[in-house]
Each structure stands twice: as structure tokens, then as C-alpha cells.
Amino acid sequence: MINLDSNIEIGPFFKWWAEQLSFLLPASFREAVKGKGFLVIDISGEQAQLSYINNEQQKLLGEFDINALAKEELQSIIESNADYQGLDMVLRVPEHLSVKQDIFLPAATEANLRQVIGYELDKYTPFTKEQVYFDIIKLGAAKNKALLHIVLVLVKKADLDEMYQYCLTLGVKPSFADTATRPVVSGKSGSQYNLLPKDLCQKANKMPLFIMLGSMSLSLVLFILLLALPLNTATGGLEALKLHGQKQARKALAIEDSKKGIDSLLLATQKLIDKKNSAPAMIDVVETVSKVLDDDTWVSQFRYVNKTLQLTGQSASASNLIASLEKQVIFHNVKFISPVTKDTRTGLERFKISTEVTKQKNDAKAE
């Protein structure tokens, strides 16, 4: 059921949509509107380090003590190169001040991930949600499809607030904050997250995004129109093609049904063959028993069911029958299934023997 109280973020959707449709734009236009990288400020104690990072390089621009003089020096570096102007400023939290944790949650929680993690934060970390800023990165379904693989990244509020104030002292306002344990990569939407609360983030210039979205929308409309015109003139042909496809589909279903019937028949036949090959024929069993039994032995009942042979009769020495039958390779687990008794009228021993019957390997291969 849809949770109408959950917060729906449409920004990531539009960003993904823009990435998927960007191929419709001319290459020169894509180059003009795509991101050129960002500036990263690392703060350690009362010192700061400024770097420029894009998809191709990472360049150290300078190191500063955090004071009024450093503010002028940092601004001078940014203004000296047109490539650095207008870029997002990233506040990078040192590794020892951040926590990165892989967690797995039921897929049903996807609509309210932040709320669920906020409630259970002290279950996965030593902190409560009042003590930290956190964000999540969804890595998709785990090997168990019922679970989501999520990376939780967090920093203590006191630490991030202090670093943020240092940034303001240097005259810069970060657009977002990440951590050195999992730095954000330019151009890779799967790595995006932000430890800064929304009220502290520098508002980005969305004009290039609006231009790109507008251009792609126009291109999409034109593309649909180009498709619609030929479709209107080919309605009759499409209907005929549709009917032909339906006929072929019915034929294919009939063929598939026939194939299933043949497969079932072949399977049943194979089962019969396997059953036949798994045990000797009745005539072979009777012949083997006849050779084993001496003239002083009479069989009154011969029963052969499910690869099990039962012999009932009388013999001068019933105990010798066990050894004689065990010598035959097709008989296994030969045993009396009732006590041996002596018939006072005939003087012979009554017996009832059971044995398992298996086919000889050489015979099975020959067949």
C-alpha cells in the first residue's frame, strides 16, 4: 500500500531522466551544460586545503590557515581561473570523523528509508539521530531479493557544524558535504549523497538544468511527432500486420501444445524403459531360482513385486537356501521373513524367504 505521508523526492527522478535522454542533444550542447567538476575543501584542525576535482584530474589549489587573510587568498584562487567559478563547493569530512556502515533492510521499507533508519539509527551505530547528520546510498537489491543493500554515512553534528563555520570564515558556503571514506564522484549519480542539512546548503544555479530539460523536452516532442506522422499513414498496414501476428501466435501456441504432448509421451516412455532396465525380467528371475533350488526343495508360492522376490515352500535344509541365493549376483539382502518350522507330515522345513532383485550392470549396459 502506498504511504501518502512519506516524503517524495522528485529531484533524483528528473536527474535520472535527464541523463537517459541526454543523447538526444547535440554533442556540443551536452559539453556546454554538463558538470565541470567541483571544488573540495578539506578541513583538519584550523587548517584548510582546497582542491579541484573532475572526471579527469584532482588538483591541489592551496593550503590555508583559517583566518581573514586566508579568505582573500582562497577567493583570489577561485577568481583567477574561469573553470573554478560557479562550481559547487564540497565540504569533505575526514575519515576519522565519519562513519560508513553497510546495512540491509526489508525491501518493503524502500518508500520510507530515511524515516526507518532515523528510528533505528542507534541499532546500527552508537549514535541517535539527534546527535548526527546522516544520509544513505541505495545500492539496489541484495542477493536475497527481499532485502535492500544500503550504505549509511554519518558525521556528528558538532563536528560538521564546526567545519561549516570554518568554511563561512573562509568566505565559502558548501553546496553539500561528503566524507573521505566514500567521496562523491562527479557524474556518477549512484555515488551522490549529502551530509549537510538542506537549510545549510548553498543553492545551486539551476538555470543550466532548466535549459537542458527544456531542450530535451522539445527534442522529445519533435521525436514523437516524427514517429506519429508515419504511423497515421500506415494504420491499415499495422492492422493487417496485427492480424497476421495474432494468427502466427495461435499457430505457435498450437505447436507449443503439441510439443508439450510429445515431451510428456517421451517422458512416460523413458520412465517405462528405466523401470524395465532397473530390474531383471520375470523369466530371468524364475530361471535363476530354478537353478539354485535343489531337488529336495519345493516352492508353493512365488511372488515378485517392486523388485522384491518372496519364496514360500518346503526344503530339506531351509538354512542352506539363504547361502545359495546370496551367491547369485541379482539377489541382495536375502533373509527369512518368518520363522522356519518343520512339517511333521512331510518331515521338511517350511520357509518364507525375501530378497531384493537388481539387474546385473553388464546386462543393463547391453540393453
Q: Provide block-wise average pLDDT over 10 residues at a time, the chain (367 residues).
A: 49 57 55 68 88 83 85 87 85 92 87 88 89 88 80 92 90 89 72 82 57 76 74 68 84 85 82 68 82 85 86 88 86 88 88 86 49
The string over 280-303, giving b where at least 16 C-beta atoms fall within 10 Å of a residue's C-beta and e elsewhere, is beeeebeebbeebbeeebebeeee
Q: What pLDDT does 155 receive?
A: 92
Distance CA 194, CA 201 (A): 9
Is the separation of the CB atoms in 171 and 202 below 8 Å?
no
Distance CA 294, CA 297 (A): 6
User: The pTM is what?
Assistant: 0.47
Nine cell digits for residue 29: 550542447
Contacts of 326 (CB under 8 A, 6+ apart): 334
Q: Is 351 helix (H, G, I), strand (E, B) or coil?
A: strand
Is the separation of the CB atoms in 164 and 196 below 8 Å?
yes
Distance CA 256, CA 61 (A): 69
Task: Identify the structural domains of the chain with CATH numbers, from first to last.
Answer: 35-196 (3.30.420.380), 282-366 (3.30.1360.100)
Question: For residue 52, how many other CB atoms are within 10 A of its CB?
Answer: 20
Q: What pLDDT does 85 receive?
A: 83
Q: What pLDDT does 326 receive?
A: 87
Distance CA 321, CA 326 (A): 9
Residues in a beta bridge with 176 = 90
Is the separation of the CB atoms in 62 and 49 below 8 Å?
yes
Which ranges in the chain belong to alpha helices (H)? 11-21, 27-33, 68-79, 113-119, 121-124, 157-169, 207-233, 235-277, 282-292, 318-326, 361-366
Q: Is 80 helix (H, G, I), strand (E, B) or coil?
A: coil
- 272 backbone dihedrals φ, ψ, rounded to 5°: -65, -40
Distance CA 35, CA 176 (A): 15
Give the position of cell 584530474. Answer: 57
